[in-house]
A and B are shown apart, each in its own frame.
Chain A
Amino acid sequence: MNEIPLSHILFVSTALFFIGAYGFFTRRNMITMLMAIELILNSVNINFVAFNKYLYPDKLDGIFFTIFIITIAAAEAAVAIAIIINLYRSHKSIDVENADELKF
């Protein structure tokens, strides 16, 4: 494990974060935007685990943060999908451009 410098792992997580951000900027379908958010959350998890393992190997706090983030991501995905299904019932579309009643 220690043959890989920490900055290479951080490269992976940074790249994954910005890939998710790109998906979030370009997609206009709510489900695919949700997928982009999952990628972003996962890149944060990689960071927590890598810092825990490299800089503080005598503690477990990074692992706990990762577990809590995974739990909250699950709750967030469930609520987001409930909202998407409710929106689809009333608008027959899950494109964010069509959900603009609160905009003006």
Chain B
Amino acid sequence: MTANQILFYLISAFILGAGLIAVTARKVFRSAIWLLFSLIGIAAFYFWIRVEFVAAVQIIVYVGGIVVLIIFSIFLTQQSGKEMAKPLQGRAAFSALAVISGFVLTYLLIFQHSFNPATNNSIEGSVANIGSQLLSISEHGYVLPFEVVSILLLAAMIGCIVIAIKSRPETK
């Protein structure tokens, strides 16, 4: 077993363990912190598989943006020290049953399918390559989805303001 393999299994165990605690912790703030660790583990996985740009985006957007937003909303909406109610016994049991059978079914399908890893020469996922293909207007360029997603972000920004704004009583 090489160091590379050991590293992969460590990262995987970290991701799954932190994710499992994140969905079962009884205190909502702890749950958010374990989610943060799970997302950092996924960023480490991206570093391991050598897509450094996606790893950087993952850290900036998820760890620096979404988790901070979630923590702010926890502070705005509830007492973070209070324990949440336990899930109902029957609901937890049936959810676990559904999830485990779904997992076994999916993994059996994956296990029986044989993937042939490609051997053709690889292209480096550097920022220069990603940037020039993202904004290229040729056949394999992604400039149209890029523009669409920027409109989506603008719409989401305006939508958030409209939804969350506090409506003032009419003042004369």
- The listed residue (B53, B122, B160) touching A79 by CB distance below 8 A is B160
**A26-B74 CB under 8 A given contacts A49-B46, A75-B156:** no
Across the interface, do B31 and A57 meet the contact criterion of CB distance under 8 Å? no
- The listed residue (A18, A60, A84, A89) touching B73 by CB distance below 8 A is A84
**A82-B159 CB under 8 A given contacts A3-B4, A70-B61:** yes
Across the interface, do A64 and B58 meet the contact criterion of CB distance under 8 Å? no
Residues of chain A at interface, number, CB under 8 A: 68
Q: Which chain A residues border B19 with CB–CB below 8 Å?
A: 16, 19-20, 39
* Chain B 15-44 near chain A by CB (<8 Å), digits 1 or 0: 110011011100010011001001100100
Name which residue of chain A comes closest to B152, CB basis.
A75
Q: Which chain B residues border A67 with CB–CB below 8 Å?
A: 54, 57, 130, 134
Q: Which chain A residues border B32 with CB–CB below 8 Å?
A: 31, 35
* Chain B 88-125 near chain A by CB (<8 Å), digits 1 or 0: 00011001101110110011001100011110111101
- Size band of the interface chain B makes with A: 35 or more
B19 to chain A, nearest CB (A): 5
Q: How far is the CA of A57 from the CA of B124 in the complex (A)?
A: 8
Summed over the interface, the residue pairs from A and B with CB atoms below 8 Å come to a total of 214
Dominant SS among interface residues on chain B? helix
Tell me the B residues contacting A by CB distance below 8 Å.
2, 4-5, 8, 12, 15-16, 19-20, 22-24, 28, 31-32, 35, 38-39, 42, 45-46, 48-51, 53-54, 57-58, 61-62, 65-66, 69-70, 73-74, 76-78, 84-85, 87, 91-92, 95-96, 98-100, 102-103, 106-107, 110-111, 115-118, 120-123, 125, 129-130, 133-134, 142, 145, 149, 152-153, 156-157, 159-161, 163-164, 166
Apart from A25-B91, A67-B134, what are 12 other A-B pairs with CB-CB below 8 Å?
Answer: A16-B16, A22-B96, A26-B91, A35-B35, A35-B70, A42-B62, A53-B50, A55-B115, A70-B58, A73-B61, A79-B159, A94-B77
